[in-house]
Amino acid sequence: MELENLNGHETNVYNLQGFTPEVVDESYLKKLGVKACPSDETLAGLKKGSELFIKRLAEGTVIPRPRLTMKEIDLDSPVEIHNYTGKCPTLTYEINPVKGCNVGCMYCLVTDGVHENELEAYTNYPEYIGKFLEEHYAEQHYYYFSPKTEALQEPTLQTGIAHRILKEFIRHYEKHPDSRARLFIASKAGDRQLRYSFEGESILDLFVRLKDKMQFNTSVSIMPGEFRSIIEPYAATLEERMKAVRLCQENGIMANSALIQPIVVPYLTTEHMTEFFGMLSENGIVNYKPEFLTACMENLAMLGQILGYYDKEMEKELYEFYIAPENADHRKQRGRTAPNRSDSIHYIRRMMEITEPMGMSISICYWVRQQLGISEEMIPIINRNGFQCLGYQSRLFAQ
């Protein structure tokens, strides 16, 4: 199946004027002015990643090709529990109807930014999740749509799979009004995705029918705008995502928390943070879950060079935050390296100082708090606005 991309940018990684990727090795880092002395293993990863980037750029396989294969999932296979760290206090099941993602983020947590494989969608996924819903409705839990792909993208919208999944939840609540299942959607969708119709009903229409049982969390990043348009090739713009947030709020759908991912640390000036969080606050966001960019070294070599196309100083700083030997054990999901601990704590505190006067609260998962040595007093698991962990709204269960 050929897909019609709903979003796209005039400039992409293939037509960046004057951009020529290089091999990121010891001499490249020294020429850039990087003072950290990475281990041989780190250098090998950076070198390998930059060589793969050069190869994929030449072959045209850096961002997804809009082709989709239809498959079926085993209806009796277990639904995965969302618990990367083994420390999640909230029971959450994953909804992953697509293998791969057409948004094509080059920092993707699932694929390390690799988008060479063809997209696959499970045509019977709505029946699969409906069957599981029927079996587990008595226990208090969430369904996260979707941690491993974009919930509202071309493969789920143009096939109707997203609409049909939402209809399964509607049918479920009609049959079991006392169900303890709740739906959590984190998405880069803009207003056009929410207005996308299948068989006469839009995503927004279906959201309205689920409004007491679900929350919609926009997913946005803190980074230079030009950089974002390249490394999120088929994502809605920030303006379009804010329109989606307002559409939800105007229709009574809980949409007042945001997943801030990824955060590019060299861009975190007071001015940029104040402007960014001010935009969220103006659009009714009262809670946010910050996630710094995490990357394997192969991925970092590609992201660093694209960032360096716009600002070489920021590219240098990016490597400095990640590649020092003493930071090698600061790993998050799937072994990806996070920025050094001291700077992570500093910037989390700085974000809190900026957002506190705006009345915004912050969610940080248990595992991250342990890794960074953040005290229980600084960030409780459930904060004053009722959000938990990833930004789950615990008060949904009171409805």
Residue-wise pLDDT for 374-398, tens only, equals 666 665 544 667 777 777 787 787 7
Burial per residue of 10-25, b for 16 or more beta-carbon CB atoms within 10 angstroms, e otherwise: eebbeebeeeebebbe
Best-predicted range by mean pLDDT (106-115, 131-140, 161-170, 334-343):
161-170
CB 106 within 8 A of CB 144: no
Q: Per residue in 151-193, pLDDT tens?
A: 999 999 999 999 999 999 999 999 999 999 999 999 999 999 9
* Every domain of the chain and the residues it spans: 26-398
Backbone angles phi, psi at 200, to 5 degrees: 85, 0
Q: Which DSSP category does 67 fall into?
A: B
Q: What is the model's pLDDT at position 384? A: 66
Nearest to 342 by CA among 363, 313, 364, 371: 371
Strand partners, 287: 257, 361
Strand partners, 388: 382, 392
| DSSP run (H or E) holding 344 | helix 341-355
CB 168 within 8 A of CB 13: no
Backbone angles phi, psi at 343, to 5 degrees: -70, -35
Q: What is the model's pLDDT at position 381? A: 47
| pTM as predicted | 0.94
What distance in Å separates the CA atoms of residue 349 and residue 383, rounded to the nearest whole number?
15
CATH 1.10.357.10, domain 26-398, yes or no: no
Question: At 127, is the pLDDT very low, low, confident or very high (cuts 50, 70, 90)?
Answer: very high
Q: Between 145 and 380, whose confidence is greater?
A: 145
C-alpha dihedral over 198, 204, 206, 211, to 10 degrees?
Answer: 170
What distance in Å separates the CA atoms of residue 2 and residue 56, rounded to the nearest whole number?
22
What distance in Å separates the CA atoms of residue 347 and residue 66, rounded to the nearest whole number?
38
Backbone angles phi, psi at 209, to 5 degrees: -75, -15
Both tokens of 56, joined, read: 């994929």
Both tokens of 311, joined, read: 């600002």
Both tokens of 334, joined, read: 């799937």
What distance in Å separates the CA atoms of residue 312 and residue 321, rounded to the nearest whole number?
15
